Structure formats: C-alpha cells, structure tokens
Structure 1
Amino acid sequence: MESLQTNDALVTRTHGTDLNDSKVDLVLLHGWGMNSGAFSSFIPYLQDYFRVTTIDLPGFGENAHHLPKPYTVEALANMISAQLPKHCVLAGWSLGGLVAQKIAIDVPQKLAGLITIASTPRFSAGPCWPGIAEDLLTMFEAQLEKNYRKTLERFLAIQAMGSATAKNDIKTIREHVTEYPEPAEEALKRGLGILAKEDLRQIVGRISVPTLRLYGRLDSLVPTAGIDRICELHPQADTVVLPHASHAPFISHPQQTADIVTSFAANLQQQRAS
C-alpha cells in the first residue's frame, strides 16, 4: 500500500502503510534533476524492515511547484525537515545527501540517524578537494538553457559511468523518473548552483546523530580520492565503499545497499534499547 499526503507544504509518499509500529521510519531524498521515482525499484528491498517515505525536493517531481526564494540548501532543508516523521532515519542521495546533512546539522533532534549515498559536504572540486570539475558544471549550466532533457540524459550517463550495469541503470532510473511531473527550470538551474558553490565542510563535523556514509568506488562525481578528506572532517561517521558501484549503488546493487542500510538502522535500534 502507498499513502499520499498533501498540504500547503510538500507532497510526501509513504510506502508500506501496514501500521506495523515495529518498523523503522526511513525517508529517502533524491538527487539533482531526479525525483522520488529514482527509488521505485529500490523501495521493495527495504519494506520488510522500514516504513519508507519519499519526499521530492522542492522544485522537483510532485513538489515542482514549491520553489523557495532564495533557492538554497538551508531553504530546502527547512521545508523538508517540517515533513519528517519523528525520529526517522534520513537517507539522502547526491544533492539530497547535501540537504540531509544540513538537516542533521540544524535539527538533529528530528533524526534517529543519517545516511548519505554518494554524497559529500562539497561537490565541486577545489584546492586539495576532489570533486566535480568546475568546467563540467559550467557546461551543464550552459546546456540546461538549450535542452534540459538532453542535459539530464548526459548527467544520468555520468552517474552510471563505470558500473557494469550502466545501460540498465540509466534505463531503470529514466523509466521511473519520467512517471513524475517535470522539474521546474528554476530548480534545475539553482540546484546546479548549489552543487557548484555549497560548502558544508566547516560545519559537517557538528553532525551528532549516528551517520553512515555510503559510496561507490567507481563514482566519478564523488570520487573515492575525497573519502579520506570527508572522514577527517566527520570522523564519527561510519563509511562503506561498494567496490563495483558508481553514483547510484541502490540501482546497480540494490540488495547489497539495502542490507547495509538495514544493518545500520538495526544497530541504531539496539543502541537505543540498551
């Protein structure tokens, strides 16, 4: 079963509404240019243990008409945090992971745990910081003005690059994402700006909630060369690197990713019970 909640704020979808109170609330946030459809094939791997809620980021999917001004990580975090179930585990993929980290910094009392998937406190490359090349982000911004569909297609290709199942990964995400409303052009543009400029490195060490950082070794957008740097900034976090995954491990390796996420949440419950 699936329930849809709408109000003056954001649309949320809860998957698996069997009223089983023993299930852990898990909230999934998607990445740039995507929507919650990206998780459609992953959610079935989670539902035995979790009550899964998906929330489209403002400006995307079913929340395409919600555009905060200014469009910032802080504004996105504020809007998302208002819709979170109590003491949930919040999992953010890529740009969604940046928003999730901001929520964990600002309102830790809302969370039982934080999971970032192929995410980082700063996406763009800089001095002694591996990341997305500035000229690549500039190219995407220029292409976005001409043809956003083609831009998204190229971005999908880069996300799957390196995965042995890259073609199928792209097809899976594309099929599910296109079932949702198209994103607002403003959100696409401002979202790219966030990827290019947002920097949480100075404050990411403040995250106090238990954290799991999950990466793909073949990821070109969040390169493994930067993982040690992130560990230095946030040493309290657990880190797992999937050796054969790229930027979307929950698509290429859904069972392995689900097992890691479930194990993390189970440990949280054990700690709270003891």
Structure 2
Amino acid sequence: MNLYFDTLGRGDDVVWLHGWAMNGAVWRDSVSGLVDEACHHLVDLPGHGRSGTDEALSLAMMVDALDAAFPYPVHVVGWSLGGAVAAAWAARSPDKLRSLTLVASSPCFMQRPDWRSAMPEKTLAQFAASLQDDWRGTLKRFISLQAMGDDAARAVARRLGDELFEHGEPGLAALSEGLAILRDTDLRADIGRLTLPVLLQFGDRDTLTPLPAGAWLAQALPQAELIVHRSAAHVPFISHRDAFVSAQRRFLASI
C-alpha cells in the first residue's frame, strides 16, 4: 500500500505516528518547533487520513507498511495507538529504530485481571457499538474523553476536532478495526526486549493510558526516561506543547 506522510525539515529522520481515528496533522504544531533540527515525517497510519487501504487493519500490517516506507534507521514518536505500532515495529525490526518515544501510550490498552492501568473493557465495547449507529458522534465523545481532566480541556478538544478530518474522513471499517487493535493489543511480554533509548511522555490526568502504565514502562524498559506533564490528560503535545517539544528536543539531541 502507499503510505501517506508529510515531510518537514532537514537532518536525522523522525517518524511521527498518531492515535486512533486521527491523522498526521495532529503533530504539525509540535513539529514546527523542531524543524531546524531534524527531518520529520508526519505519517497517516494505514486506514487513516490519506493512507487508504482495502486490507483489514492489524498491528502487523501497520508495521509492514512503515517498514516498507522507511527502509533506513529512524527515530520514532508514537502517540496512543501510534505508540503501540511503534513499539511493535521496534520489537520486530530493532535495527530500523534509533530511538523510540511513547506519548500517552501503553503496552496494553484494555484492563485485564493482571493489568488495571487501562480502559475498562466496557468502555471500548461501548465505543465499538456506537460507531455503527453514529460514528461522528462517537469520535466527538472520544475526543472529549482524551481531553477530560486536562487544565486546557476545551482548547485540546477544539484542536483535535479541527484536525480530525483534515486529511479526509476515516472509513467505518478502519475505525472498527482500529478499536479492535486497541482491545486486543498486549505487548507486555515484548517490551523488555527493547534495548534502544526510549522517552516516555505522559500526562498525570490521563484516563485512557493512566500514569501507572508509564511508570510500568519506565521500569520494564532498560533505557527509558519518564517525563510527567502535570495537569495534562491524553494529549500533552497539545496542552503542554512547549514542555513536550523541549523534552523531545533534548532527547533527540542526546542520541
């Protein structure tokens, strides 16, 4: 498949992966503060934005598409679902990734008996069911949930809403398959094998990927640094843009 991405800046290659239902445009403001220091590729994941596909979405299929589009070593930044894709890519092709940044992401997005720092199964099931009746309303509710608890909740929700359809409307099948990936993904057994430098950027008010998930990753990853953005929810790169960019700049410069 043809993977769509915008490229900004010059220098070392940094690949940016967005979350469920969104597109690469969500990163534009953050990347604008880094264009003088690297070459940034703002990807539309398969089934999202302008990266249309007739294939069923899966974590493996997304990794295949990225591996083909970027056959050279890159730094990768992944938010939420994009973080899971990035971690799976790092586990499968360790020679391809120079560093990994996980933003409000998790190795396991749905609660399990031995994993409580995630969304309840009921919440994901409700979103999956409501997609069929009112997918636009479902996306608006999901955006509200991502911003909930943040000091800048209204501004964050407004920004995400403005960028939601910037690269076109998502397909219903891709949305449903993306939720299934969030429901089924559990990378905990693979995380400890990642030996590359990792930056973790989390908000302490995130209800979708709670901070204990970030703390778990910091313990499980041998070269991880955890940055906690106070009073931020699920989208710290919007609500705490300057602090997010500063941490990202310092991390990339250290490698």
TM-score category of the 2 structures, normalised to the smaller one: over 0.9
Shift of 1:222: 0.7
Distance (whole Å) between structure 1 residues aligned to residue 171 and residue 108 of structure 2: 24
* Cα deviation code 1:193-233 (max 9, x no counterpart): 11111111111111122111111111000111333333333
Q: Say whether residues 1:253 and 2:240 are aligned partners.
A: yes
Contact 1:25 1:85 survives alignment (8 Å)? no
Shift of 1:107: 0.8
Alignment RMSD, CA only? 1.4
Contact 2:195 2:221 survives alignment (8 Å)? no
Question: Which letter does structure 1 place at the counterpart of 2:3?
Answer: L
Count matched residues. 254
Q: Which residue of 1 aligns with 2:7?
A: 14
Contact 1:55 1:80 survives alignment (8 Å)? no
Q: Say whether residues 1:25 and 2:13 are aligned partners.
A: yes
Q: 1:86 aligns with which of 66, 69, 72?
A: 72
Q: Which residue of 1 aligns with 2:213?
A: 226
Q: Which residue of 2 aligns with 1:142?
A: 129
Q: Which residue of 1 aligns with 2:39?
A: 51
Shift of 1:181: 0.9
Distance (whole Å) between structure 2 residues aligned to residue 234 and residue 48 of structure 1: 30
Q: Tell me, what secondary structure is at the counterpart of 2:130?
A: helix
Contact 1:97 1:119 survives alignment (8 Å)? yes
Shift of 1:179: 1.7
Contact 2:25 2:42 survives alignment (8 Å)? no
Shift of 1:243: 1.4
Q: 1:209 aligns with which of 193, 196, 205?
A: 196
Which consecutive residues of structure 2, in runs of 5 or more, have no partner in the other structure?
A: none
Q: Tell me, what secondary structure is at the counterpart of 1:97?
A: helix
Q: Tell me, what secondary structure is at the counterpart of 1:149?
A: helix
Q: Tell me, what secondary structure is at the counterpart of 1:38?
A: helix
Question: Which letter does structure 2 place at the counterpart of 1:111?
Answer: L
Q: 1:180 aligns with which of 160, 167, 171?
A: 167
Shift of 1:125: 1.0
Distance (whole Å) between structure 2 residues aligned to residue 57 and residue 68 of structure 1: 13
* Cα deviation code 1:225-265 (max 9, x no counterpart): 33333333324322111112110111001111011111111
Runs of 4+ in structure 1 off by over 3 angstroms are none
Shift of 1:50: 2.1
Q: Say whether residues 1:106 and 2:86 are aligned partners.
A: no
After TM superposition, the score normalised by the length of structure 1 is 0.88
Distance (whole Å) between structure 2 residues aligned to residue 54 and residue 85 of structure 1: 16
Shift of 1:85: 6.2
Distance (whole Å) between structure 1 residues aligned to residue 227 and residue 17 of structure 2: 19
Change (3 A) 1:77 1:39: same
